[in-house]
Amino acid sequence: MAMVKATIAAFVCLFLGSNNVVSRLLDENCGISSDDPYDWNIIGGNRTNIHQNPWMVLVMSSKPCGGSLITSRFVLTAAHCVLLEELFYVRLGEYQTLDPQPYCVNDHCIPRFYNISADMTKYHNDYNKTTHKNDIALLRLSQAVEYSDYVRPICLLVDEQLEETPIYNAIGWGGTEYGQSSRILLKTTVYYMNVLYCNKKYQKQADQSQICAGSQTSNTCKGDSGGPLSYELQYGNKSLTFQYGLVSYGSRKCHVNTPAVYTNVTHHMNWIVDTMAEFEPRDSDNCRLPIVQMYYQNTLAILQWLYSILSST
């Protein structure tokens, strides 16, 4: 009996210790971006190129916000962006806003953006408007999107913590130093700061469910809400972009050298997965887990159950 228990325990530890089995990417096609071969280089600028952030979406309503595509049917954004009872749609493949013409560089034109309505909106039940805790929401798209160089999900890691990083990338069409929203998708670099700095600045008690970050030269601003806070990591043999947070709140005047607070997406992964499971389509083309992944997780559950039975006898 002892030998059987030891064997089962060894298998359980083997399953739990393997990142390729227990942990997984929310969408296996995530986090891939590329340089635009038709675009020019910008020296000292903060403009992105069209291929760099294909997961970025514009959440369109009476209060436009940013968001990130995380699967072919779901967009992640901030709860304060979707509190109003109204219809939402998201704009995918967007780069240069306010311009009805295709975006062209060196005689090469990219496909225009397209809009998809959201047929389900869900924000965190414990979202607090005063403290901005749990400022996170999901939009389910009315139809699955087709991935391309311009439309692709960002990576979220399930059942494992992302490695810590002192630096993040933030993107959006929000307010600039000129007092108006940007027409071109912009990016900036912000740095991790101790949450005590944000607590002192905003007289709130941010915690591990939030990220404090800032920069001496840039900041996120009005209109950037819900947009992703990300960093590129090595995952297996690929370099993929992972989402760490999303824009929640900051200085009203968006001053540089002032920290801002971001919802910690990693902290809310269970909520994301559970909400998606509740609302995602049930047809065979939208399985929550790949068949192989389901096999391993079911096997792990059986091994753990057997071990608990034997341990009690």
Distance CA 129, CA 124 (A): 11
- Report residue 53 as tokens: 């952030």
Distance CA 80, CA 64 (A): 11
Number of H helices and number of E strands within the chain? 4, 16
Using alpha carbons, select from 72, 233, 226 the residue that is nearest to residue 153: 72
Do 189 and 165 form a contact (C-beta atoms < 8 A)?
no
Residue 180: DSSP 8-state: S
Residues labelled as active-site residues: 80, 135, 225
Element (H, E) at 282: none
65 SS3 class: strand
- Report residue 97 as tokens: 């806003």
Do 152 and 54 form a contact (C-beta atoms < 8 A)?
yes
Looking only at Cα atoms, what is the longest distance across the chain? 75
- Report residue 285 as tokens: 């083309």
